[in-house]
Structure 1
């Protein structure tokens, strides 16, 4: 089934192994074959990965986009284990991501990865005021 993609001016897109940047006007095109792609809004670069869950998401991107995923999968497992030990409430979310990966639903795993980052942000927002109070006491 063809997929129509609309790009904003200067928006980036990864299709397979190619990184594409749109020009200075909106553009629209149709992907007529089944291929892996990520829009700029879905991409987190290694330099932007400043939290454990963002680093986990970078590994999910690699697993989704490349053919040889052995190293990325091992990295995912190691980091996921560390995250679950530090924050056990993340375990069900990480288990759901792993389930998607093992069933071949890597794009769905990415979506769940973005939800995990949002959950991490919520946890950090709850911890920050308590840490500030403790420092002032």
Structure 2
């Protein structure tokens, strides 16, 4: 059995498939999704709208809407690319420049889940900067490792 997305689920883990919430049973499970254009999102990776309170979290939320199938099309890509480029300018060349460039390319390609993953690595750095911890400081590095 080859091809398709493989989901490894924890006991009782919930996930969204094409707008329907599904819950795993009492055991760990592995599923293979064969349909190429299925919209799948693990609930544990979902960000609630009220939690999207920073620029990177707002971009994560836009990508999440695309992953779940609640937003699609060129407008979503344009919003993500524009927001990611603005974030890159705000951060400057020293902070997350490569990660943000990669996220822009992923957004242009419609790889919204991978955009979410890239942003999830950027969010703790942004949080530290917003809290006054300079980039590259020991506190910031400790947060990234957690």
- TM-score w.r.t. length of structure 2: 0.66
Counterpart contact for 1:15–1:36, Cα < 8 Å: yes
* Counterpart-to-counterpart distance in 1, 2:8 and 2:99: 29
Counterpart contact for 2:60–2:120, Cα < 8 Å: yes
Any unmatched runs of 5+ in structure 2?
135-146
Shift of 1:27: 6.2
- Correspondence 1:68 to 2:72: yes
- Correspondence 1:109 to 2:115: yes
The 3 A distance-change label for structure 1 pair 105 and 68 is closer
CA RMSD of aligned residues (A): 2.7
* Counterpart-to-counterpart distance in 2, 1:100 and 1:52: 18
Equivalent in the alignment of 2:125 = 119
Please state which structure has a larger fraction of its residues in helix: 1
Shift of 1:47: 1.5
- TM-score w.r.t. length of structure 1: 0.69
The 3 A distance-change label for structure 1 pair 74 and 101 is closer
Q: Following superposition of structure 1 onto structure 2, how do residues 1-137 of structure 1 map, counting pairs within 5 Å?
A: 1=2, 3-9=6-12, 11-21=13-23, 25-26=26-27, 28=29, 30-34=31-35, 35-66=38-69, 68-88=72-92, 89-125=95-131, 126=133
* Counterpart-to-counterpart distance in 1, 2:51 and 2:29: 28
Structure of greater Rg: 1
Q: How many residues align?
A: 125
Shift of 1:55: 0.4
Shift of 1:104: 4.5
* Counterpart-to-counterpart distance in 2, 1:122 and 1:36: 32
Shift of 1:13: 0.8
Counterpart contact for 1:83–1:90, Cα < 8 Å: no
Counterpart contact for 2:9–2:28, Cα < 8 Å: yes
